Amino acid sequence: MEDPSKERLIQDYLNGTLTVETKALFEKELEEDDDFAAEVKEFETLETGLHSIGVDAFKEDMLQWEKEYRQKHQPTTKLIKFWPGYLAVAATILLLLVAGLFLYNTEPDNNALYASHFVPYEDMIISRGDANPESLLIAGMEAYNNEQFETASEKLNGYLVKNSDKKGVALYLGIAQMQIGKYTEATASFNIAQQDLKFKQQAQWYEALLYIKSEQIDKAKSLLQDISKDVQHYKSEEAKEILEDIN
């Protein structure tokens, strides 16, 4: 029978695309040659690993190396004799790739850290009856409560332009702005909210989360350290937890 690329032959076998005759010869070889059977198993594991991390270019390089190798060496008389150098090199590189990915993925993920600690602050404006019936404030807080942060940002900002003394509303505006990626505006809003003692600690906390979300890690650490040292702060312990995990 034709002697195709051994790697392609094994791939075709694993993919179930061999002809009946070739498959029979292949399986006969598997039954009679334990070493070859082990090589095929290792190759299957290797292929699965390479596919899972998308190293298609690497596979193409391996095929080219094998082709060049075969051009310089006479083929063996056995039906199938897998080139051990290919497997050794491929397995080694795969091991290094997987190890690198493992180390990369075990680094603290600041986005995940942010997501695990972010919860929109409860509505202390409408729920406590502190809101006057201005349509912008009501509409803004309703959008905030429904996590429609784009609308909330627009409505609450419009309200604060006309009611700059309502500094607590800036907390909710800042959270909405943070959630839609307006980090500079959100920082300014949190600074305004901190001027209202009822919302000072909350504004500090969400400002720290903003710094994590926007990858301003030095600022995040500095503010979290301040919060963690304040035993009266409602997020003191949680700040300590983040400081242990932040990258």
Sketch out the chain's domains with CATH numbers: 6-105 (no CATH), 110-245 (1.25.40.10)
How many whole angstroms separate alpha carbon 235 and alpha carbon 233? 5
Residue 243 pLDDT exceeds 80: yes
Please give the pLDDT value at position 109: 79
Please give the pLDDT value at position 127: 63
Where residue 4 falls among pLDDT bands split at 50, 70, 90? very low
Please give the pLDDT value at position 69: 59
Contact 200/174 with Cβ under 8 angstroms? no
Distance of CA 220 to the CA centre of its chain: 20
Span 63-79, mean pLDDT? 58
Please give the pLDDT value at position 2: 40
Q: pLDDT digit string (tens) for 135-183?
A: 899 999 999 999 999 999 999 999 999 999 999 999 999 999 999 999 9
Where residue 107 falls among pLDDT bands split at 50, 70, 90? very low
Of 47-51, 194-198, 239-243, the least confident: 47-51
Please give the pLDDT value at position 15: 77
Contact 163/195 with Cβ under 8 angstroms? no
Q: pLDDT digit string (tens) for 186-239?
A: 999 999 999 999 999 999 999 999 999 999 999 999 999 999 999 999 999 999
Please give the pLDDT value at position 106: 45
Q: What are phi and psi of 23, to 5 degrees?
A: -65, -40
